[in-house]
Amino acid sequence: MPWGITIGGAMAAFAKDAKRHGAAVAWTAAGISTVGLLTYVWREQRRVGTKGPAPDMPAHVELELPDHPGVNTVLDAGKGYRVRSRERAFGQARTIVGIVQAIDRYHAVRPGAPDVMVLDISRRGGGPMPPHKSHQTGRDVDIRNPGWPPTTNYAALWDLVRAFGEDPEVQVMFVDRGVQEELGRVADAAGQSARAAELLQVRGGSRVKHWAGHKNHVHVRFRGGVAA
Ligand SMILES: [Zn+2]
């Protein structure tokens, strides 16, 4: 038998085996996730039932989070935006839809604007994703400021923030206080001071809040899912 055929056959057998192996791993992972979730729910019920942590429950339990079974939708690059890392672009389905729709609204008011850069959302299945403390449940997304680097285009960022702000499923956005002040200025110049007052914390609004250090990206949090 020629070598080519032998090697080809071995490769095919290996691929088949790998496929079976992969399926087994996936089923095991799904099983572990389900057990994790049920354990979490059971613990939560016990905790609620006893009004506080059960006496036999170690203190760290409340920090444990199961893999989030809903964090299974990936944002692939599309029209008008790019995605920095696919591995870190998994979210709840509603989050992913909300991101795409907000970016569409942004481009509708800024035709020809450069692509929006989507940074971290969550990893597949959720859970810790250093260096973030959040981004665990598929409902947080970081979006790079338009124009950055080298300099933020605040007029464009204001349009982006307004676009996300139109989605009632967007619970809150975080940017540094100094960024909010810049956004307030461009809003005034565009005759949109009233909208700035609704959105920006520095103007008394409630949707765009201060988070120190968020100077070159905006952190958008969608509702839904478990808190983390
Ligand atoms: Zn973030």
Distance 203 CA to ligand 1 centre (A): 22
- 44 and 88 housed in the same domain: no
Between CA 100 and CA 75 the distance in angstroms is 9
- 113 and 11 housed in the same domain: no
Distance 174 CA to ligand 1 centre (A): 8
- 77 and 59 housed in the same domain: no
Question: Which two three-digit tokens encode residue 161?
Answer: 């923030």
Whether residue 19 lies inside any domain: the answer is yes
For residue 20, give the H/E element and its range.
helix 3-49
- 31 and 96 housed in the same domain: no
Whether residue 227 lies inside any domain: the answer is no
Q: Containing domain of residue 58, as a range?
A: 3-63
If you average pLDDT over each of 16-20, 47-51, 59-63, 167-171, which comes out highest?
167-171
Distance 131 CA to ligand 1 centre (A): 10
What pLDDT is stored for residue 219 in this prediction? 97
Distance 96 CA to ligand 1 centre (A): 15
Q: How many residues does the chain have?
A: 228
- 40 and 117 housed in the same domain: no
> What is the sign of the dihedral through the CA atoms of 205, 140, 74 and 93?
negative
Between CA 169 and CA 131 the distance in angstroms is 25
Distance 219 CA to ligand 1 centre (A): 5
What is the count of structural domains for the chain? 2
What pLDDT is stored for residue 228 in this prediction? 41
- 80 and 150 housed in the same domain: yes
What pLDDT is stored for residue 224 in this prediction? 73
- 120 and 187 housed in the same domain: yes
CATH of the domain at 135: 3.30.1380.10
pLDDT of residue 40 exceeding 50, the answer is no
CA 191, chain centre distance (Å): 31
- 124 and 31 housed in the same domain: no
- 137 and 80 housed in the same domain: yes
